[in-house]
A and B are shown apart, each in its own frame.
Chain A
Amino acid sequence: MADDVGLRDPGLLLLISLASGPKHGHAMLVDIEGFAGARLGPGTLYGALTRLEQRGEVEPLAGDGRRRPYRLTPAGRRTLERRLGALNGAVRVGLERMRA
C-alpha cells in the first residue's frame, strides 16, 4: 500500500507517525504499518531516525534507555507540513485531471 501511494520515504513515514505524539521504535513500526501498509525494517527505521535527528527534526525523550521515545521538533513539524503540502498539491492536480 505504501508503494501504491508513493510513500517510499521512511523519513516522511516517520515524521507522519510522530505527528500524533512521541513514540519509541516498535510503536513507530506498528503505526507506520497501520496507516501506510509499509513494513519497515529496524535498520531502515533507525537510519531514517538518525538523519532526522541530525537535521534537528526529531529529538529523543528520556526513556528507560533501551526503549527511548522520540518526538517531532518544531523544525520537524514545519518539514512535515511542507512535504505534505507538496504531496497534497500533487494529489489535487492528479484528481482534477482524472475528472477532466
Chain B
Amino acid sequence: MRRLTLMLLLTYPRGWRERYGPELEALIADVGLTPRVAVDLVCAGLRQRAEGSASESGPGWALGPAQRHPSLAALLAAMLLVPAAAFVSGSLLAYNLGVAGLQGVMQTIGTWLDATPPLSVLLLAAAPSAAVLAAVPMLSIGPGAGWSVHLAVQVRFANMLVVAAALVVGAVLVWYAAGEL
C-alpha cells in the first residue's frame, strides 16, 4: 500500500511533497487508502500543481518536463536543430555566396537526401520541432475566467534564441523546398 501511496503522491509538485508528503502519507496510513481517497489525492495533487504553477509564473498548468527544465529544453532543441542549420548554412555558402569548395559537398548531401526521402522529412521537421521544444518552457497556459484559457509568455533568452534560429532555418528550408517544386 505504501508504494501505491507514494505513486499517488507523485501527482503533487516536488516542493510540496518535500514539505507535506510525510504528513500526508501518515494521514493516509491512518484513514486507509480506499478508491475514494485515491481519487481525492489525484484531484488535490493536480490542483496543487496548477496552483504552484500559478504562484511561480502566473496562472498556468505545467506543460511537462520541458517546462521544469527550460535550459535543458533549449539545449535539446539546439541539438535537434544543428543538422538542419548546418545544411542551410552550407547551402547558403555554396549556392548563394558561391563558395566553390562547398558546392561539391552540398551536391553530394543533396543527392543523398533526394535518395532517402525520410531523411529529407526529418530535416524539414527538425526546425518546427526545435521551435516548439524551445518555446514550451516560455508558455504558461491556464484557466481564465469562466471557460476561457489564459496564455502568458515568459521570455527566456536561451529559449528565445533557439526559437528565432529555428524559425530562420525553417523559413530557409521552406524556401528551398518551394524552389524544388
Task: Kindly state whether residue B63 has any CB partner on chain A within 8 Å.
Answer: no
Taking a contact as CB atoms under 8 Å apart, the answer to whether A25 and B23 are in contact is yes
Q: Which residue of B lies closest to A39 (CB)?
A: B36
- Partner of A44 from B16, B26, B30, B44 at Cβ < 8 Å: B44
Taking a contact as CB atoms under 8 Å apart, the answer to whether A29 and B31 are in contact is yes
Taking a contact as CB atoms under 8 Å apart, the answer to whether B23 and A66 are in contact is yes
Task: Kindly state whether residue A19 has any CB partner on chain B within 8 Å.
Answer: no
A-B contact count (CB 8 A): 58
| Interface size counted on chain B using CB atoms at 8 A | 23
Q: Which residue of A lies closest to B11 (CB)?
A: A43
| Interface size counted on chain A using CB atoms at 8 A | 18
- Partner of B23 from A46, A47, A51 at Cβ < 8 Å: A46
- Please list the 4 inter-chain residue pairs (A to B) with the smallest Cβ-Cβ separation, ordered nearest first: A41-B40, A43-B44, A66-B26, A25-B27
Listed A/B pairs (19) with beta-carbon separation below 8 Å: A24-B27, A25-B23, A26-B30, A41-B36, A41-B37, A41-B44, A42-B28, A42-B37, A42-B40, A44-B40, A46-B24, A46-B44, A47-B44, A47-B47, A49-B20, A50-B48, A66-B23, A66-B25, A67-B23
Residue ranges of A at the interface with B (Cβ–Cβ < 8 Å): 24-26, 29, 41-47, 49-51, 65-68
